[in-house]
């Protein structure tokens, strides 16, 4: 079973995300245990302060190192992987999700406010970002990574082949999909999909996936593979 700890000062932000859909079912099935420890539990003082003004001046507040160090040291085990969620991290990809799904224990350290004390980086095994934009805090990005990872766990999806056929699973975009009705507002389902010839359909879908990738994401590695 995969264990995930999302360390944050806003654990309630994750309640609805973790309590719905695939994440909820995966937890109920015992595939994953997700906890949201409150960083303030490792902070000192009456107000359990986790941030302070930046040295050198400037706007905003910076996450203090002491509470984060105490928390990570309390949570970390031999098989833990500590991930710092930061806009300066490596861009999160499907390949990274597949890699993290093979871990035993993930600890996400979520930044808040203007950022975190630089010394916190020394705790992390890796740093991740979900894109070139700024969010309110790292809780939201950790939720995205958690969802992407958990759905890859064996048994998390209703159909074991679902994850294999999705966009980015083989380095490119997924082929287009249709469902009933056969004709809608003059737009018809391609005849090949109605043929019942599964070999021909598989070949057609692969061609469609490569064409869509070339048109929309020529930067993806799928186009460097043999057809």
pLDDT > 70? residue 225:
no
> Cα–Cα distance between 180 and 173 in angstroms, integer?
23
- The model's pTM is 0.85
pLDDT of the residue at 227: 42
What pLDDT, in 10s, does the model give residues 50-98? 999 999 998 889 999 999 999 999 999 999 999 999 999 999 999 999 9
Q: Minimal CA–CA distance to 65: which of 57, 56, 55?
A: 55
Per-domain boundaries in the chain: 2-150, 167-224
Name the packing angle between helices 138-150 and 21-28 (round to 10°).
60
pLDDT of the residue at 169: 59
Q: Residue 54 contacts by C-beta under 8 Å, 6 or more apart in sequence?
A: 60, 61, 62, 114
Which 8-state DSSP code applies to residue 171?
S
**CATH architecture of the domain covering 2-150:** 3-Layer(aba) Sandwich (3.40)
What pLDDT, in 10s, does the model give residues 3-44? 999 999 999 999 999 999 999 999 999 999 999 999 999 999
Of the two residues 113 and 186, the one the predictor is more confident about is 186
Confidence of residue 115 (pLDDT cuts 50, 70, 90): confident
Q: How many residues does the chain have?
A: 227
Strands 126-129 and 80-91, sheet pairing: parallel
Write down the CATH number for the domain with range 167-224: 1.10.1270.20
Segment 158-169 shows an average pLDDT of: 57
pLDDT > 70? residue 176:
yes
Burial, 108: exposed, middle or buried (Cβ in 10 Å; 0-12, 13-18, 19+)? buried
> Cα–Cα distance between 105 and 107 in angstroms, integer?
7
What pLDDT, in 10s, does the model give residues 117-163? 999 999 999 999 999 998 988 999 999 999 999 999 999 986 555 55
């Amino acid at each position: 079973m995969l264990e995930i700890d999302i360390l944050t000062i806003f654990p309630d932000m994750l309640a609805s995300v973790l309590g719905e859909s695939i994440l909820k079912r995966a937890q109920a099935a015992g595939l994953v245990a997700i906890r949201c420890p409150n960083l303030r539990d490792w902070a000192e003082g009456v107000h359990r302060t986790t941030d302070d003004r930046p040295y050198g001046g400037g706007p905003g507040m910076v996450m203090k190192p002491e509470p984060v160090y105490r928390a990570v040291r309390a949570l970390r085990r031999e098989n833990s992987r500590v991930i710092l969620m930061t806009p300066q991290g490596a861009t999160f990809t499907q390949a990274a999700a597949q890699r993290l799904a093979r871990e035993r224990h993930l600890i996400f350290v979520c930044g808040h406010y203007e950022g975190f004390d630089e010394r916190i980086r020394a705790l992390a095994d890796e740093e991740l970002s979900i894109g070139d934009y700024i969010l309110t805090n790292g809780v939201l990005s950790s939720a995205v990574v958690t969802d992407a990872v958990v759905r890859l766990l064996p048994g998390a999806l209703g159909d074991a082949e679902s994850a294999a056929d999705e966009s980015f699973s083989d380095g490119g975009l997924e082929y287009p999909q249709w469902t009933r009705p056969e004709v809608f507002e003059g737009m018809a389902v391609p005849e090949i999909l109605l043929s019942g010839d599964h070999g021909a359909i598989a070949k057609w879908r692969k061609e469609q996936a490569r064409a869509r990738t070339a048109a929309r994401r020529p930067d993806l590695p799928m186009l460097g593979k043999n057809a």
